[in-house]
Amino acid sequence: MRLASVFGYRGVVLFPWQARLYDRDVASAAPEKAENPAGHSSKEVKGKTHTYYQVLIDARDCPHISQRSQTEAVTFLANHDDSRALYAIPGLDYVSHEDILPYTSTDQVPIQHELFERFLLYDQTKAPPFVARETLRAWQEKNHPWLELSDVHRETTENIRVTVIPFYMGMREAQNSHVYWWRYCIRLENLDGDVVQLREWHWRIFSLSGTLETVRGRGVVGREPVLSKEQPAFQYSSHVSLQASSGHMWGTFRFERPDGSHFDVRIPPFSLESNKDEKTPPSGLHW
């Protein structure tokens, strides 16, 4: 059993992922070069292997974390004729190794989640006393391309750390063309405790087809979250589509201080890559 330290929810680990963490806060031995048009240093950022876990969130804790995070879900395109069909599995999150605290429970069903008993079996002879059912193994194998966490990108500006995790969702055909979809999860963390509020976002989205799109907006997911010492983090997910199998995104968040002044926080550039060897999206949960 695990407790996510940042958002304070209970959960159970389903399985680990070995991701490549691209941390722009880690000083490079290479000399600093001029910034590129994205506003980032052009020096190479090398990825390091880091462990993340996929967890089921206890439904009882979701109301308590709603101000700090969406109730996370894994989404992918359902294998239906309707190209707008979207499949979502609620109450799933990805947590880094340093963000979890272990705890134990004597309850045979310690986590309230609709998938808990389908995925895990209580076995008092084991430590911990839960083992994976065959349905969990089959589900992971079938849906691996849409569950896999492979790259994590992180950067800090003026003590506001932005972490981005992109996920490939699948490809659909629309009007004689292919449309590729990705979900990206963003975590904002206030590292010094000074009160700031997110006001605006500014994205640049480059597609391998040769297009470069610039988009702006107010708030995120209908909110303008305040980051403070009491509530230092906020997390949300959104989606993007391209008419090419790959591309990349970067941008900024504009924050406001209590005195009315503003500053921009960099969103680290991240790649959008499709799973080219996986052509058929899943049709739903496979038990």
What CATH number is given to the structural domain containing 234? Answer: 2.60.40.1470
Is there a domain that residue 37 lies in?
no
Is there a domain that residue 174 lies in?
yes
Is there a domain that residue 130 lies in?
yes
> Cβ(163)–Cβ(23) under 8 Å?
no
Domain with 123, as residue range(s), is 2-29+49-273
pLDDT of residue 147: 84
Is there a domain that residue 218 lies in?
yes
Count of structural domains within the chain? 1
Rg (CA), the chain: 20
Is there a domain that residue 152 lies in?
yes
pLDDT of residue 175: 78
Say which residues have a Cβ less than 8 Å from residue 50's Cβ, sequence separation at least 6. Answer: 18, 19, 20, 21, 96, 97, 152
Is there a domain that residue 285 lies in?
no
pLDDT of residue 85: 61
* CA neighbor of 48 nearest in space, from 27, 22, 24, 30: 22
How far is the C-alpha of 148 from the C-alpha of 127, rounded, in Å?
A: 27
pLDDT of residue 38: 45
DSSP structure class, residue 68: T
> Cβ(179)–Cβ(243) under 8 Å?
yes
pLDDT of residue 91: 84
- The tens-digit pLDDT sequence of the chain (287 residues) is 556 667 778 888 898 999 999 999 984 444 555 445 444 555 678 899 999 999 888 888 877 665 666 556 677 675 544 445 667 777 888 889 998 888 777 777 788 998 999 999 988 888 778 899 999 999 888 888 778 888 999 999 999 999 999 999 888 887 788 899 999 999 999 999 899 999 999 999 999 989 999 999 999 988 999 999 998 999 998 999 999 999 999 999 999 999 999 999 999 999 999 865 454 444 443 33
Is there a domain that residue 68 lies in?
yes
